[in-house]
A = this chain, B = another copy of it.
């Protein structure tokens, strides 16, 4: 497919990411599918690194995801490797897919002397085509020769598929006077397009924390970051988020609120960047639901609004079509009372008491909808349940990208 223009919602530039002690990166042109660009990245993690992960819940998930899930719960004092290719997702390739993962892990184990269960792989790109893993293993020597603690940007570039910009985020904080760093990269431009737009995220920190504590923190923070974004309601067969804590800073962050907050911010920033690169997106939308019977109901309502094609097309058209919000709440299946709903666009009170607000004017709403960053707030008036999710609009460009690209 032809090169896409950079999303209008992209950050001005890729951030300066700090070096993380205990992690080195390399990237290479393996020619898995793309020509003339880097398409494999490798991260080598020093011994003593804790690795945690969260993965797609898809029932048809890829061999790579299944393999990572088998390994992620193991405690180990060994180092570890993360190796990722773009261009081919190795998904729905039957037993051949399992064989490709094994071949890559075994080859890395041979080069490094690590056990193969310390090698984590991801693949993203076309589905259903056999992964030419030989092209990847043929580059291992080059990759290990090129390892460098400053090459995280190369890694961010190598994992892109339909992404229109590389995604990175970082945080540095002092804990009891000692510096701790976090740096992460991501790719993804649909919640999924299983051919080419899976979400992959790799976050590194020099903090010290056990694998189990790191996993708990990661799972909890995923529920309020990556699990609350949606581009098109579709779910990848390959979504993977790995978090590696090398411990090189010597700072134990177990139970540390400041570290947790910093990690949250990095995860949320990366999640927002994925939405901002949503296929065809021209608007970034935050949806806040409050007053629901409980948090689960609030999330059901928020995702019903965020995933509604009619809401998303109205936003694309800069149409303050609050009636479609009412519709989405009505269809979500969670509890709602028409006459207790309050709807706001930004600070503008749009609807209350089961009807449009007397103070609201359509001109005011239409003016608000012209902004690139929008907030939609719904209060159900039923209880204390809240949820916040992020999405983008649904535009002609989404249809163009997804209807045309394999032909």
Contacts and interface: CB of A to CB of B under 8 A. Distances in A.
Nearest to A322: B128
Interface stretch (A230-238, A249-257, A263-271): A230-238
B327 A234 contact: yes
Interface string A218-248: 0000000000000011111100000000000
B94 A327 contact: no
A338 interface: yes
Interface string A88-130: 0001111110000000000000000000000000000011100
Give the bracket for the number of chain A residues in contact with chain B. 35 or more
Nearest to A397: B399
Contact of A309 (B234, B356, B400): B234
Contact of A331 (B127, B234, B322, B331): B234
A195 B323 CA distance: 7
Contacts of A307: 233
Interface stretch (A38-46, A54-62, A134-142): A54-62
Interface majority SS (helix, strand, loop, mixed), chain A: loop
A396 B190 CA distance: 18
Interface in A158-196: 190, 192-195
A127 B330 CA distance: 13
Given A351-B92, A356-B128, A403 B327 contact: no
A194 B327 contact: yes
Nearest to A341: B60
Contacts of A327: 58, 60, 127, 192, 194, 234-237
- Count the copies: 2
Interface string A289-331: 0000000000000000001111001101111011110111111
Interface string A380-407: 0000000000000011101110111111
A56 B338 CA distance: 14
A94 B353 contact: yes
Contacts of A338: 59-61, 92
A97 to B, nearest CB: 8
A354 interface: yes
Contact of A319 (B190, B324, B331, B406): B406
A339 interface: yes
Contacts of A314: 402-403, 406
Nearest to A307: B233
A290 to B, nearest CB: 17
Contacts of A195: 321, 323-324
A78 to B, nearest CB: 31
A355 interface: yes
A232 B337 CA distance: 24
8 contacts: A59-B332, A92-B338, A94-B354, A94-B355, A194-B327, A236-B327, A314-B402, A319-B403
Interface of A: 56-61, 91-96, 126-128, 190, 192-195, 232-237, 307-310, 313-314, 316-319, 321-324, 326-339, 341, 351, 353-356, 366, 394-396, 398-400, 402-407
A-B pairs, top 3 by smallest CB distance, nearest first, are A60-B330, A317-B403, A127-B323
